[in-house]
Amino acid sequence: MANAASNAGKIPGYETTIITRGELADESLKALQERINSVVKSFGGEVVLTEDWGSRKLAYTIQKESRGRYSYFVYTGKGQVVAEIERNLRINEHVLRFLSVNLEKEFDAPAFVKRRAELQVAAKKRDEEREARREERMAERRNWSDERRPRQSAHSAASEDSEA
């Protein structure tokens, strides 16, 4: 019985990734985000995380579009929240593709946000280390090419000066 009481506050968590047209205006994207927020709230949930991943080249053309703008949403909700969001996305002419995934049946939003922040910090650290290694390699290459370049001796440099 205690287990049922502790699970009463937990509702399912979902994530949806959306690809919209590349030339989509910021106002239109904001309107789409607000529409998703209102649908989630109407189903007794909350939007936990919203990320704009920016415009990227698509692997293949979709509806004659070669670039798309990616948006990522993590939210909670009861009942048919995913079906309603997907229905709204199908209606919207700017949405090229979308994918919704059920994260957990008992979603812990604060733990998810904390874990996501830790992953982003780790990724940033990895990128910095990768950049430092790349700079090291470039410095080694410059030194190696300097060693391979023929050097003028002091005697030959002096003889060239006297000829001029």
- What is the SS3 assignment for 109-150? HHHHHHHHHHHHHHHHHHHHHHHHHHHHHHHHHHHHHHHHCC
The reported pLDDT for the residue numbered 15 is: 93
The reported pLDDT for the residue numbered 21 is: 92
The reported pLDDT for the residue numbered 104 is: 84
The reported pLDDT for the residue numbered 4 is: 42
The reported pLDDT for the residue numbered 1 is: 38
With cut-offs at 50, 70 and 90, classify the pLDDT of residue 162.
low
| Residue in the structure block whose two tokens are 């209102």 | 38
State the CB neighbour count (10 A cutoff) for residue 132: 10
Across the range 44-54, mean pLDDT stands at: 89
Across the range 123-133, mean pLDDT stands at: 91
Mean pLDDT value across the chain = 84
With cut-offs at 50, 70 and 90, classify the pLDDT of residue 10.
confident
